[in-house]
């Protein structure tokens, strides 16, 4: 029905009823008929929604989960070990009963997107030989009140029925993006989300009303802080497992797994690629291998080479190369800006520069790729100050050569400001140990300016001492548009200014 017609009817019907009452007409039968028709339409819509959910469920039944083992998931050794231990409560049920251990009701997998939370849930079903029923938080969200709650009931009922039908002792229910229905409840009027969450809490409380089949709920989210405390408490989600970004060893393992079905050249060094892909998730690493194969196909080659993998890292991190044409003067300014970053990086962290490039990718006109020396999780004040100086290197280089800055430094300044904020929160500034929320904006801005102005002064001084490196690197970069880390370090050695 068109929207305008609905609006006309909404306005016309009340007026009609008022008119009929005014002339003395008995409107009670009409009101009863209207209520019955409305209820019938509502039930029809609800059944249609449930039929869609049931159809999706049947589709999942037919396809079934892909058989996946923990060995096929790269990295995440600690997370996999913790999950196996939790799953042993399903497998060794009689043994844990003797020790009086209460079986776990739920496991919450948290961590950044693309780290393998869904894969680990599938592997859990294979590990325990359980029925696997998967769903997403968005499947429970409907405009009609009560539909989400009924779908929760249907999900648990389906898991029990399938386990009984397939003669399985246990079933695993997996809900992805559980924050959609498990968000914090607010006071006031009840929402559809609240009813859905309440039903989920009720089902989890009644999971062990019967011993067989045993049901374990596994949920995944990358926004754990948004979940309601009634859902995350012990007795519902008993174990919270962090599925974090993989370290270097984990990244190499993931690359090896995704490279098994690809023709890698004998010269490919996956250790080097694992080092260059610092901070990548499992999904990004899979994309690196896939993009490398695409580059190989474009060049009509038979094997994937090291350069294809390096190119694919740039693409996943920065985006595809664009056809944006820059003037010679703009190109020179971008080159000076990027060399400022690279020189500062090499001064404060020798051997950290992997590549300096002028090729436009995404929104960037140029970029510097860095190689971290080692995995690091704690940062000192000097380390963070060095990081700020690297970020300020581009703007400082522009000031030295042009006497002013450009808009190309906006992202660099944003990064520097975030690092200063981290220093303040960690008690690494002259403010001491403070609660940032209790410090006035004026005090914060004053401290911020003192730190950044002092580090900018030091950055300019270090770059001015290396003008010859700028001049030599600039010519090569403008001509070839790419400067490798080894080429760049050779220029440092020639100038004898490389720090000891």
Residue 388: per-residue pLDDT: 95
Range(s) of the chain covered by CATH 1.20.58.760: 328-495
Residue 498: per-residue pLDDT: 44
Residue 199: per-residue pLDDT: 83
CATH architecture of 64-182+192-242: 3-Layer(aba) Sandwich (3.40)
Residue 49: per-residue pLDDT: 47
Residue pair 315/361 in contact by the 8 Å Cβ criterion? yes
Active site residue 338: yes
Q: Quote the strand ranges of 361-487, DSSP E.
A: 367-370, 482-484
Pairwise CA distance, residues 252 & 273, whole Å: 8
Residue pair 360/345 in contact by the 8 Å Cβ criterion? no
Residue pair 357/471 in contact by the 8 Å Cβ criterion? no
Say yes or no to pLDDT of 145 above 80: no
pLDDT tens digits, 29-79: 777 877 777 777 666 555 544 444 545 444 444 444 457 788 888 878 888
- Give the mean model confidence (pLDDT) for residues 228-241: 86
Q: Which residue has the tokens 């989890």?
A: 204
- Higher-confidence position of 95 and 240: 240
Say yes or no to pLDDT of 500 above 70: no
Concatenate the DSSP letters of all residues of 12-38 into one string. Answer: HHHHHHHHHHHTT---HHHHHHHHHHH
Range(s) of the chain covered by CATH 1.10.8.60: 248-318
Q: What is the DSSP letter of 364?
A: B
CATH number for the segment(s) 328-495:
1.20.58.760
- Give the mean model confidence (pLDDT) for residues 411-424: 93
Max CA separation in the chain (angstroms): 105
Highest averaged pLDDT of the listed ranges 39-43, 232-236, 356-360:
232-236
**3-class secondary structure, 363:** coil
For the record, the structure tokens of 99 come out as: 């020790």
The one catalytic residue in 177, 286, 338, 447 is 338
Range(s) of the chain covered by CATH 3.40.50.300: 64-182+192-242
Residue pair 281/245 in contact by the 8 Å Cβ criterion? yes
Say yes or no to pLDDT of 288 above 60: yes
- Higher-confidence position of 458 and 500: 458
Q: Which residue has the tokens 């960037």?
A: 364
Residue-averaged pLDDT of the chain: 81
Cis peptide before 430 (omega within 30 of 0): no
CA triple 18-19-25, angle to 5 deg: 95
Residue pair 335/469 in contact by the 8 Å Cβ criterion? no
CATH architecture of 248-318: Orthogonal Bundle (1.10)
Say yes or no to pLDDT of 318 above 80: no
Residue 324: per-residue pLDDT: 67
Residue 397: per-residue pLDDT: 93
**3-class secondary structure, 465:** coil
246-255, 352-361, 410-419, range with the lowest pLDDT: 352-361
For the record, the structure tokens of 226 come out as: 């948004």
Phi, psi of 176 (to 5 degrees): -85, 150
Residue 459: per-residue pLDDT: 94
Pairing of strands 353-357, 482-484: antiparallel
Residue 43 neighbours by CB distance under 10 Å: 11
Strand 482-484: give its sheet, edge to edge: 367-370, 353-357, 482-484
**pLDDT band for position 323 (50/70/90)?**
low
């Amino acid at each position: 029905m068109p929207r305008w017609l609905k609006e006309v009817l909404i306005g016309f019907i009340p007026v009609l009823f008022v008119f009929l009452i005014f002339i003395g007409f008995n409107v009670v039968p009409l009101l009863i008929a209207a209520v019955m028709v409305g209820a019938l339409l509502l039930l029809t819509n609800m059944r249609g929604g449930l039929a869609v959910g049931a159809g999706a469920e049947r589709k999942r039944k037919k396809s079934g989960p892909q058989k996946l083992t923990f060995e096929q998931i790269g990295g995440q050794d600690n997370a996999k070990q913790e999950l196996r231990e939790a799953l042993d409560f399903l497998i060794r049920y009689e043994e844990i009963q003797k020790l009086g251990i209460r079986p776990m009701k739920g496991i919450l997998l948290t961590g950044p997107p693309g780290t393998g939370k869904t894969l680990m849930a599938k592997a859990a079903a294979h590990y325990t030989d359980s029925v696997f029923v998967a769903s997403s938080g968005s499947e429970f969200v409907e405009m009609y009140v009560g539909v989400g709650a009924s779908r929760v009931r249907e999900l648990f009922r389906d898991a029990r029925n399938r386990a009984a039908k397939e003669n399985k002792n246990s079933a695993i229910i997996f809900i992805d993006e559980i924050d959609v229905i498990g968000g914090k409840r607010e006071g006031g009027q009840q929402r559809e989300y609240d009813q859905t969450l309440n039903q989920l809490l009720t089902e989890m409380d009644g999971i062990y009303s019967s011993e067989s089949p045993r049901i374990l709920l596994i949920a995944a989210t990358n926004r754990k802080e948004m979940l309601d405390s009634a859902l995350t408490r012990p007795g519902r989600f008993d174990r919270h497992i962090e599925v974090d970004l993989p370290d270097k060893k984990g990244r190499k393992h993931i690359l090896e797994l995704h490279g098994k079905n690809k023709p890698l050249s004998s010269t490919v060094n996956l250790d080097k690629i694992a080092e260059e892909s610092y901070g990548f998730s499992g999904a990004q690493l899979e994309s690196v291998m896939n993009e490398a194969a695409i580059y190989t196909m474009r060049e009509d080659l038979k094997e994937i080479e090291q350069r294809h993998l390096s190119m694919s890292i740039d693409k996943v991190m920065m985006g595809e190369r664009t056809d944006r044409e820059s003037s010679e003067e703009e190109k020179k300014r971008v080159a000076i800006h990027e060399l400022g970053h690279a020189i500062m990086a090499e001064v404060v962290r020798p051997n950290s520069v992997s590549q300096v490039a002028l090729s436009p990718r995404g929104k960037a006109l140029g970029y510097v790729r860095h190689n971290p020396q080692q995995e690091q999780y704690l940062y000192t004040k000097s380390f963070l100050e060095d990081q700020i100086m690297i970020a300020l290197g581009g703007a400082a280089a522009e000031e030295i050569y042009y006497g002013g800055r450009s808009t190309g430094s906006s992202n660099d300044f944003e990064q520097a400001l975030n690092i200063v904020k981290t220093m303040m929160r960690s008690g690494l500034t002259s403010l001491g140990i403070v609660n940032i929320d209790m410090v006035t904006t004026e005090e914060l801005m004053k401290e911020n300016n003192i730190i950044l102005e002092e580090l900018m002064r030091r950055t300019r001084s270090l770059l001015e001492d290396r003008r010859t490196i700028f001049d030599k690197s600039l010519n090569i970069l403008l001509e070839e548009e790419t400067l490798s880390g080894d080429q760049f370090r050779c220029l440092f050695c020639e100038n004898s200014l490389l720090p000891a």
